[in-house]
C-alpha cells in the first residue's frame, strides 16, 4: 500500500474522566475503543432521562479544573483513579465526597459510572493539526489554549484535516479511519485553568470554521502510538 507523509504526532492526550482535565502522554495504546483508558469514567446525572445524561462542563464548568490520573497505568481497565480538585485536594475518584460536591454544584444528584468503551459524544478519536490551531488563533486575534478542544492527537502539519475525510492514516504501526469534522459546543468557551467562560471562542469557530474544529476517527488497526511518530496518509 502506498503512503504519503503528512506530519508527525506532537501531542497525545487521554481523558480518564469525561469533562475533567486530560493526561498528557508520551505514548498510548490505540485499541478498538480508542486510546486505551480514554473517557473510561463519567459522572452521570442520575435523574436525567435525556439522550445525553453525562455531567459535563456545560453544567459544572469547574469539572475541567479537576485533574484525573491513573495510578496503575499498566492496567488501565482496573487501575484506581486519583483526582486533584481545584483547591489541590487529592482524593479517589470514587470518594463519595467528590460526587456530593459535584451534585451540589450541578444542583442535581450525580453518580459515577465506569464504562468499558468510553463516554464519547460521537467518535472515539479526535485529531487536529497545528496548522488548523494556528488558523484558529489568527481568526480569533489571540492565541487560544488547545486544551479547550479536548483533542486526543495533535499532528504537526499545515494541512486542513477535511482533506483526510474517509481516508485511512497510519501512525506508527496503528491505523485510523478518518470520519467527519468535529462540531464544537459550549465546552470550548471554558478556560481550562480558571473555568471562566468566553463566548467569543465558540463564535470564532462558528463564524470562521463552520462550527467545526478538528476531525473524528475510529481505529482501523490497533497498536502503540507515540509523540514523534510519523503520520502517513494511505492510498
* Tens of pLDDT, residues 105-157: 999 999 999 987 888 888 999 999 999 999 999 999 999 999 999 999 999 99
Query: Which three cell numbers, joined as nine digits, stand for 83?
Result: 483526582
Rounded distance between C-alpha atoms, residue 90 and residue 67, angstroms = 9
The DSSP code for 75 is G
* Tens of pLDDT, residues 170-214: 999 999 999 999 999 999 999 999 999 999 999 999 999 999 999
Question: What is the β-pairing status of strands 153-156 and 125-129?
Answer: parallel
**CATH code, 50:** 2.40.33.20
φ/ψ of residue 135, rounded to 5: -65, -35
Alpha helices per DSSP H over the chain: 96-106, 130-140, 199-209
pTM score over 0.85: yes
* Residues 126 and 14: beta-carbon distance below 8 Å: no
pLDDT confidence tier of residue 90, bands split at 50, 70 and 90: very high
Hey, is 79 helix, strand or coil? Answer: coil
Show the domain range for 17: 3-234
Rounded distance between C-alpha atoms, residue 86 and residue 67, angstroms = 8
The total domain count for the chain is: 1
Amino acid at each position: 500500500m502506498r503512503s504519503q507523509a503528512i506530519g508527525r504526532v506532537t501531542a497525545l492526550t487521554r481523558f480518564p474522566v469525561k469533562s475533567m482535565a486530560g493526561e498528557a502522554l508520551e505514548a498510548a495504546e490505540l485499541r478498538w475503543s480508542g486510546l486505551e483508558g480514554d473517557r473510561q469514567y463519567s459522572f452521570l446525572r442520575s435523574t436525567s432521562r435525556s439522550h445525553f445524561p453525562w455531567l459535563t462542563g456545560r453544567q459544572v464548568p469547574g469539572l475541567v479544573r479537576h485533574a484525573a490520573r491513573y495510578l496503575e497505568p499498566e492496567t488501565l481497565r482496573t487501575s484506581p483513579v486519583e483526582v486533584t480538585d481545584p483547591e489541590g485536594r487529592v482524593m479517589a475518584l470514587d470518594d463519595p465526597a467528590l460526587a456530593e460536591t459535584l451534585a451540589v454544584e450541578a444542583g442535581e444528584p450525580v453518580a459515577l459510572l465506569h464504562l468499558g468503551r468510553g463516554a464519547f459524544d460521537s467518535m472515539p478519536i479526535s485529531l487536529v493539526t497545528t496548522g488548523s490551531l494556528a488558523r484558529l488563533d489568527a481568526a480569533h486575534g489571540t492565541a487560544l489554549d488547545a486544551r479547550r478542544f479536548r483533542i486526543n492527537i495533535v499532528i504537526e502539519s499545515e494541512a486542513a484535516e477535511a482533506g483526510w475525510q474517509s481516508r485511512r492514516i497510519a501512525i506508527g504501526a496503528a491505523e485510523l479511519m478518518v470520519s467527519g469534522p468535529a462540531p464544537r459546543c459550549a465546552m470550548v468557551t471554558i478556560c481550562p485553568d480558571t473555568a471562566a467562560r468566553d463566548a467569543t471562542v465558540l463564535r470564532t469557530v462558528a463564524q470562521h470554521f463552520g462550527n467545526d474544529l478538528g476531525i473524528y476517527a475510529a481505529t482501523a488497526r490497533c497498536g502503540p502510538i507515540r509523540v514523534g511518530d510519523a503520520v502517513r496518509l494511505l492510498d
